[in-house]
C-alpha cells in the first residue's frame, strides 16, 4: 500500500471480492478506478468480474489497447489508446442500455451503440488481475478508489467523479491524488493555505494556476511589460500558462 493506494507487482498480486448481487448488474453499469500503471502490459487487468472474460472487465488487451468488455451485450467491447504510464489517471467505463462509453480523466474518449443485458456469473470480482489469474494478466502499478455502479453514469456525473472536491477547500481530489497520494496528511486533507515547497504560493493557488506543488521551480509569475512604440499601453503577461486554464485579472490598480 502506498498512501492509501494498493500496489500490484504485475506478477501475482490481486484483490478478490466474493460474488454478490450488487456486483451483478444486468441492464446498466459503470466501473471506475484511479490507476497509475508502471507500463501497459498486454492483457493486464485493472479489474474483472468473471474468470474467463465472461462478465465485465477493464484491461489492456493483447494489442495493448485499453478495453472495456461487457460479455452478453451486443457490441459490448470498446477500445481506446491507454493513457500515459507513470502518472495517475481516472478510468471509467459506462453502459446505459444503449451506449457503451469510455472516459479518461473525466473526458469521453470512445463511445458506440450497444444493447442487451450483461452476462451474469457467480465468479469473484478481482482487482489487479483476473480471478485466479496469472502473471500474464496481472496489473503492474497502483490502483485506488475502485467503484462499480448498477447504473450508467452520465458524462456530467463522470466529470464530477473525476473532479470531486471531498474536502471542500476548492481543490479537486484528482489533484491531491496526483501530487500527494490519497491518505497522507498532505493528500486526503490537503491544506489549501499550506505551501509545502516554500514558493510563497499556497496549494489552492497552485491548483487554480495549474502548477506543480511538489516542484519549487514551478512558480506563477505576473508581469507588466511595455508595448513597443505604444507609450500609453502595457501588456499583462501570465507565466506559465497551463493547458485548460483561463487566466483573467479580477481587478487592476492604475497609478
- Domain that residue 15 falls in: 6-163
**Cα distances (Å, whole numbers) of residue 40 to 53, 203, 229:** 19, 32, 54
Q: What is the pLDDT of residues 157-182, one digit of tens each?
A: 898 888 877 778 888 877 877 787 65
225 close to 235: Cβ distance less than 8 angstroms:
yes
Are 81 and 135 members of one domain?
A: yes
Which is more confident, 240 or 34? 34
> Do 152 and 196 fall within a single domain?
no
User: What is the pLDDT, as a whole number, of residue 128?
Assistant: 94
Say yes or no: 109 and 230 in one domain. no
28 and 150 inside one domain: yes
* Residue 177 within any structural domain of the chain: no
Q: Render pLDDT for 83-96 as a digit per residue (tens, 0 to 9).
A: 999 888 999 999 99
Determine the pLDDT at residue 47. 96
- Cβ burial 22-57 (10 Å sphere, 16+ → b, else e): ebbbeebbbbbbbbbbbebbebbbbbbbbbebbbbb
Q: What is the pLDDT of residue 223?
A: 75
Domain boundary among 163, 178, 212: 163
Give the pTM: 0.73
Q: Look up the CATH number of the domain holding residue 45.
A: 2.60.120.200
The structural domain count of the chain equals 2
**26, 65: one domain:** yes
Closest by CA position to 124, among listed 45, 42, 28 = 45
- pLDDT averaged over every residue in the chain: 86
Q: Quick one: 10 and 114 in the same domain?
A: yes
Amino acid at each position: 500500500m502506498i498512501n492509501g493506494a494498493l500496489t500490484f507487482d504485475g506478477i501475482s498480486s490481486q484483490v478478490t471480492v466474493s460474488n454478490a448481487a450488487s456486483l451483478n448488474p444486468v441492464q446498466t453499469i459503470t466501473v471506475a478506478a484511479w490507476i497509475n500503471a508502471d507500463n501497459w502490459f498486454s492483457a493486464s487487468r485493472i479489474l474483472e468480474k468473471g474468470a474467463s472474460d465472461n462478465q465485465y472487465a477493464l484491461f489492456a488487451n493483447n494489442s495493448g489497447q485499453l478495453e472495456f468488455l461487457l460479455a452478453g451485450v451486443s457490441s459490448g467491447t470498446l477500445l481506446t489508446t491507454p493513457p500515459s504510464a507513470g502518472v495517475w489517471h481516472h478510468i471509467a467505463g459506462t453502459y446505459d442500455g444503449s451506449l457503451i462509453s469510455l472516459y479518461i480523466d473525466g473526458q469521453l474518449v470512445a463511445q458506440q451503440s450497444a444493447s442487451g443485458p450483461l452476462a451474469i456469473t457467480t465468479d469473484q470480482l478481482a482487482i489487479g488481475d483476473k480471478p485466479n489469474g496469472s502473471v500474464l494478466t496481472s496489473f503492474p502499478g497502483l490502483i485506488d478508489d475502485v467503484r462499480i455502479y448498477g447504473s450508467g453514469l452520465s458524462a456530467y456525473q463522470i466529470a464530477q467523479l473525476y473532479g470531486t472536491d471531498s474536502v471542500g477547500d476548492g481543490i479537486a481530489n484528482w489533484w491531491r491524488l496526483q501530487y500527494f497520494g490519497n491518505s497522507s496528511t498532505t493528500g486526503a486533507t490537503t491544506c489549501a493555505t499550506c505551501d509545502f515547497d516554500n514558493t510563497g504560493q499556497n496549494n489552492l493557488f497552485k491548483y487554480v494556476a495549474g502548477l506543480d506543488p511538489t516542484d519549487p521551480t514551478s512558480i506563477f509569475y505576473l508581469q507588466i511589460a511595455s508595448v513597443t512604440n505604444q507609450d500609453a499601453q502595457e501588456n499583462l503577461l501570465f507565466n506559465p500558462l497551463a493547458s485548460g486554464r483561463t487566466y483573467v485579472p479580477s481587478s487592476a490598480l492604475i497609478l
